Amino acid sequence: MGSFIQKQILGMQWLNTLIGKILSAAGLDIESRFGGSLHFFLYDVIKITILLFVLIFLISYIQSYFPPERSKKILSHCKGFSARIIAALLGTVTSFCSCSSIPLFMGFTTAGLPLGVTFSFLISSPMVDFASLILLTSIFGWKIAIAYVVLGLIVAIAGGTIIEHLHMEDQVADFIRNGKSVCLAEEKLSQKQRLISALHSVSDTLKKVFPYILLSVAVGAIIHNWIPEGWIVSMLGKKNPLGVILAVFAGIPMYADIFGCISISESLLMKGALLGVVLSFMMAVTTLSLPSLIMLKKAIKTKLLVTFVSICVAGIILVGYFFNAFQALFL
């Protein structure tokens, strides 16, 4: 039953077979490079778009029960280590894009929440949201997906703990540190309003993300059908012990969410890249994209920004080497 859910419902293998039959009926050889690339492209674009629609709808609906004001109240009643755990968990049901997480981080910090708590949220929100869990399950299986989320939460909680113990409150931008938090009454939404709001979120997200999905799947198709496997193995496989580090620093300049890099990661793994290399690349892309760091620089000073990036990079690299070491248990 679990295999059926992963392969046919989440992985949509039926769609892969259907597209293959349609292309073959049209006279295209799907075993050729061009035919295989087109097959890969159509299957992944349709599959990821369907998953995006369903997941963003569900996440947005869940988010309607956790508006910023309610999240502030929840976190304000928690102290110390438990507060950082709750903050990291809240990150899994909020924004799935690092740039979208920063305004919430700023609001929480202005409200007077401890810096460690707000950074636990900032790390976990783009790294291990609900969409990551489902999308990773559809591609890599539930064992990898759960391990990815658990390790991501550990990185978020550990990162927040380190930052809190460094006492870097003076490294927050003055307009945030001295700002006044405005408490707004929570808007009570009807079920119809929640559903309409979720549909609007799907539409807005699709407009923003779809071009990146097309680009990512196109790159994935090229890797899958045109790049020699030996090249991938030599750079990102067992032959290169620095593959994880290379993947992390290659991912940081990119701007994409989990939907925008999943096809590239899938193709790299199929071509012989190590599991830890692929997953650390995804973590780096979603958590430390260059646009989000530029935006974050306006909210915190250089010393804190460097500390944040260093903690995330170190954590992601450790996660990558963990998956490399225990790859046999997951695949």
pLDDT tens-digit profile of 186-232? 567 788 888 888 898 888 888 888 888 898 899 999 998 898 888 88
105-114, 226-235, 263-272, range with the lowest pLDDT: 105-114
Instruction: Identify the band that residue 294 occupies on the pLDDT scale cut at 50, 70 and 90.
Output: confident
Q: How far is CA 121 from the centre of its chain?
A: 13
Residue spans of the domains in the chain: they are: 66-186+209-330
Provide mean pLDDT across the span 243-250. Answer: 93
Instruction: Identify the band that residue 318 occupies on the pLDDT scale cut at 50, 70 and 90.
Output: very high
Sign of the torsion formed by the C-alpha atoms of 205, 208, 211 and 212: negative
The answer to whether 96 and 258 are in contact (CB under 8 A) is yes
| Residue 17 burial class via C-beta count within 10 angstroms: exposed 0-12, middle 13-18, buried 19 and up | exposed
Q: How many alpha carbons lie under 13 Å from residue 145 in its C-beta half-sphere? A: 18
Instruction: Identify the band that residue 184 occupies on the pLDDT scale cut at 50, 70 and 90.
Output: very low
% of the chain surpassing 90 pLDDT: 40
The answer to whether 117 and 159 are in contact (CB under 8 A) is no
Phi-psi region of 273 (alpha: psi -120 to 50; beta: other; left: phi over 0): beta
Provide mean pLDDT across the span 279-303. Answer: 89
Res 186: pLDDT:
56
Strand, coil or helix: what is 103? Answer: helix
Tell me which of 307 and 292 has the higher pLDDT: 307
- Strand partners of residue 172: 300
Res 125: pLDDT:
87
| Residue 25 burial class via C-beta count within 10 angstroms: exposed 0-12, middle 13-18, buried 19 and up | exposed
Tokens representing residue 35 in the block: 């035919």
Degrees, nearest 5: CA angle 314-317-318: 85
Instruction: Quote the mean pLDDT of the chain.
Output: 86
Res 307: pLDDT:
96
Residue 327 scores a pLDDT above 90:
yes
Q: What CA–CA distances, in Å, run from 4 to 1, 8, 33, 48, 138?
A: 5, 5, 29, 18, 11
Pick from 34, 47, 57, 97: nearest CA to 213 = 47
Measured CA to CA, the distance from residue 137 to residue 145 in angstroms comes to 5
Provide mean pLDDT across the span 171-200. Answer: 75
Each residue's pLDDT tens digit, 45-83? 999 999 889 888 888 888 777 776 677 777 777 778 898
Provide mean pLDDT across the span 98-125. Answer: 83
Measured CA to CA, the distance from residue 87 to residue 78 in angstroms comes to 9
- In the block, which residue shows the tokens 């020699």? 228
Provide mean pLDDT across the span 257-280. Answer: 89
Helix (H) or strand (E) holding 329, with range, is: helix 327-330
Measured CA to CA, the distance from residue 171 to residue 167 in angstroms comes to 9
Which residues lie below 8 Å from residue 14, measured CB to CB, with a gap of 6+?
8
Instruction: Identify the band that residue 96 occupies on the pLDDT scale cut at 50, 70 and 90.
Output: low
